[in-house]
Amino acid sequence: MSNILYMTSEVFPLIKTGGLADVASSLPAALLELEQDVRILLPAYPEVLEKVKAPRRLATASYYNLDVELLETRLPDSNVLTWLVHCPAVFDRPGGPYMNSDGQPWHDNALRFAIFCKVAVDIALDNLALDWQPDIVHGNDWQSGLTMALLSQHPSRPATVFTVHNLAYQGLFDYPTFRDLKLADSLWSMQGLEFYGQLSFIKGGLVFADRINTVSPTYAMEILLPAYGCGLEGLLQHRRDRLSGIINGIDQKVWDPGTDPHLAVTYTRKTLAKKIQNKAALQEKLGLPVNAKIPVIGFISRMVEQKGLDIILQGMLDILALPIQMVILGTGEVHYEMQLAEWAQEHPEQLKVIIGYNEALSHQIEAGSDMFLMPSLFEPCGLNQLYSLRYGTLPIVTNVGGLADTVVDASPANIENATANGFVFKPNSSDELLATLKRALQLYQQTRLWRRLQVTAMSSDFSWQNSARHYIDLYKSALADRDAAIH
């Protein structure tokens, strides 16, 4: 059994902006079930404090002349102990965890997450007298990267693991910020936190962690290439012996078509015929013509370039010429929201666009759609294709990252050997997307074959227990690396 401090800047259901929040609630719970002693460390945003009941104060400290309390609670509907970094001066404000209400990054993000990281370091080195000390500090994304750099300066430190969920977000700040944070001069170098004249939080994890991993094996290989490495491919190639990929799991209690409370009708592989009732309920709810024969294509995503919005919009005229209905749910860059809303206005019988995020509706779209579209330009892991597979909704995805690792194209050979569970095409082309949609529609007409593909999809095992065992192996490797480095 290991003691694990799991650092995350968001965790469902307390605060969520993306997939990290889902991972951060599911992986610690799965590790706990496998008898690991895990504590989540999370900033105490106002939204978090509203949702937790009477947290207990564990310790007090001061960083950069700001008072900090460490509070203890449990993750709702879970036994996972959760420690909250309560520093009102930097975390108690309206808006999101990283951006203000105008969509701009908080001006003091470097200070906010430096405090978060320093608390982790003090827990790791037992400076807060908590009667608990981690064997492993597991950081996630740039917000936790500084921890690994700071711990590297202490010989009697825990082992460190750093998970990259999306390399495109790096936590970059100017040199005066580096000085203001009073970081050791030795960290300002190409071999440290300096990145083209800027302070890079993510480099803290990539340079100094004992082990680095990403959330799929293919993405771990892709980020060694200039096309996906975001300028960090040289560093990652240098550390490739410490780099690996573990595919995310999904919370199979939350995402289970057999028990999902959000659905009109629950169903399983054995009662797959009932799935169509969810389609009718979705069509009716969204004001689309209720028609069992017309395939519904779902799309749930942040509306940003990464998610393939450009190739969808380029091909939209041809897509809507197909005999389909399309349901889009998401929020993001205004120009994508506006263009999609215009298309929906012009084609009310075929296209429904809902701007915003709605957890219940996302479940209803997964269950009510026949296919799910994810034409991402890059995708470290992706969760929606995993939800779709579980719900018998065949994913149509690009051949990148976690999508390539989890979706098997319905080619004749893969159909023959019963491994096909969706449709895969090359990124960056609306022509390829259109051809793949047409191929999917042809197979959709073959009812018995389509049912077979759905059953294959629903038979996949993407439980967190499976992934958590891989993480335990990764922790053992990190401990061995740390011990080797000390001796």
Q: What is the pLDDT of residues 382-432, one digit of tens each?
A: 989 999 999 999 999 999 999 999 999 999 999 999 999 999 998 778 999
450: which residues sit within 8 A by CB, 6+ positions away?
394, 443, 444
Collapsed DSSP state (helix, strand, coil) of residue 64: coil
Amino acid at 459: S
Q: pTM for the whole thing?
A: 0.88
What are the structural domains, with CATH classification, of the chain?
Answer: 3-249+465-486 (3.40.50.2000), 272-460 (3.40.50.2000)
Mean pLDDT of 223-240: 96
Q: What does the alpha-carbon distance between residue 7 and residue 43 come to, in Å, rounded to a whole number?
A: 9
Percent of the chain whose pLDDT exceeds 90: 90
Of 23, 41, 124, 129, residue with least CA distance to 86: 41
Percent of the chain whose pLDDT exceeds 70: 100
Q: Scan for tokens 């061995």, then name that residue.
A: 480
Residue 101 confidence class, pLDDT cut points 50, 70, 90: confident
Task: Tell me what pLDDT residue 487 has.
Answer: 66
Query: Do residues 233 and 221 touch, judged by C-beta distance below 8 A?
Result: no
The per-residue pLDDT for range 439-466, each reduced to its tens digit, is 999 999 999 999 999 999 999 888 899 9
Q: What does the alpha-carbon distance between residue 89 and residue 77 come to, in Å, rounded to a whole number?
A: 30
pLDDT at 269 exceeding the cut of 90 = yes
